Amino acid sequence: MEDVPIIWVIAGLGFVLGMAFGATAQRTNFCTMGAISDMVFMGDWNRFRSWMLAIAVAVTGSQLMHMSELVDLNSSIYLTTNFGWAGAILGGLLFGFGMTMTGGCGNKTLVRLGAGNLKSLVVAMVLGLFAYMTVRGLIGLARVELESAANMDLEAAGLEAQGMPDILAALIGIAPETARMIVFAFVVLGLLAFCFKSAEFRESKRDIVGGVILGALVPAAWYVTGVVGFDDFEPTPLASFTFVNPVGESLQYLMTFSGATINFGIAVVGGVIFGAFIAAKASGEFRLEAFNDADDMVRHIIGAAIMGVGGILSLGCTIGQGLTGMSTLAVGSLIALVSIIAGGVYGMKYLEEGSFGGALKAMFGGE
């Protein structure tokens, strides 16, 4: 085992965690876009509560690991002092809108692909292409200009991270450890109260199980990359579940395999697809599905492109920011999450009304 490169150990564990994530999402029908759709069109909050429960579980596990010094969440991309508020807002709105055009976020795209949805193959390829273009390609220059113009340096204000506890401690002058406990308790207890005040949700075992398992997988991933992957000579970037940039990296990996290096995110992408495939086959839900018509294909392609750009600008998707990022208690993650939900609601109204202006009127109660 000592002769196995640490990156392959991390990739193997990432694949296993990805399988668990994909299988659970497929069997419980966990879908963040679906949660927003249910909420907007049917007044059904169960899947949204499942998402919030997942956040509560992810925050609990991740913060306990951080406070015990098992992992240092400040080393993650979410807590950097380079505060990209504009990217979080713009990217979040774009991602939220885009996922309504494709019928699902990055994670749901991979889950559907594993279950035989060929539309998701096209969506994943376009999403990955535009994500990579936004990181290192044609759109990358515009992204860098936006970040240079809008990002705030929190270190200049005396902050060590953009975490909610750090900001609270600075604002009211209390110890950072005390601030962390306050924010931790407020977020977790608030989310749990929101989830379980609903009798309908308390009776929905599927939604509860889905939220608990998927939420628990986030700190498990932190452990894999932060503890198992800790190596002074071959350091592994601290990471957990996210599905925009890794899809782009996966495409590059497949195209340049002989000269490329696998990482945790790439392995997770493969694991999610395979886990969803196994779960779909086992339950008899696997079936091939294609586009209904040309308009359907165009809508999915446009939505995937928007998701790819938005997901990079916001540093994550409904899982990357809305679950993993939130587990760090980062302010940027909260802004991105709210923006994604707002973009998703607007996208739903756009599909319903058929125009951007009509969607705005419907969203804000106009006739």
3-class SS at 83? strand
Residue pLDDT, tens place only, 133-165: 999 999 999 999 999 999 999 999 899 999 999
- The per-residue pLDDT for 366 is 56
Tokens representing 163 are 């975490």
DSSP state of 53: H
User: Length of the chain in residues, anyone?
Assistant: 367
Q: Which residue has the tokens 């608030």?
A: 190
- The per-residue pLDDT for 236 is 86
- The per-residue pLDDT for 334 is 98
- The per-residue pLDDT for 252 is 95
3-class SS at 115? coil
Q: Which residue has the tokens 């890794």?
A: 246
The rounded mean pLDDT for the chain is: 95
- The per-residue pLDDT for 354 is 83
**With pLDDT > 90 as the criterion, what percentage of the chain qualifies?**
90
**With pLDDT > 70 as the criterion, what percentage of the chain qualifies?**
99
DSSP state of 284: T
Residue 21 · residue 275 · CB < 8 Å = yes
Cα–Cα distances in Å, from 321 out to 111, 315, 334, 341, 353? Answer: 18, 7, 8, 12, 29
- The per-residue pLDDT for 205 is 97
In 3-state terms the chain splits into helix, strand, coil percentages (rounded to 5) of: 75, 0, 25
Q: How many CA atoms lie within 13 A of 302 on its CB side?
A: 10
Which amino acid is located at 181 in the chain? M
Residue 198 · residue 45 · CB < 8 Å = yes
Residue pLDDT, tens place only, 324-356: 999 999 999 999 999 999 999 999 999 988 888
For residue 163, the cross-strand partners are: 330
Residue 55 · residue 326 · CB < 8 Å = yes
- Please state whether 241 falls in left (phi above 0), alpha (psi between -120 and 50) or beta: beta
- The per-residue pLDDT for 263 is 95
How far is residue 47's CA from residue 211's CA, in Å, rounded to a whole number? 9
CB environment 171-182: b (16+ within 10 A), e (fewer): eeeeeeeebbeb
Name the pLDDT band for 46 (thresholds 50, 70, 90).
Answer: very high
For residue 289, the cross-strand partners are: 117
For residue 153, the cross-strand partners are: 82
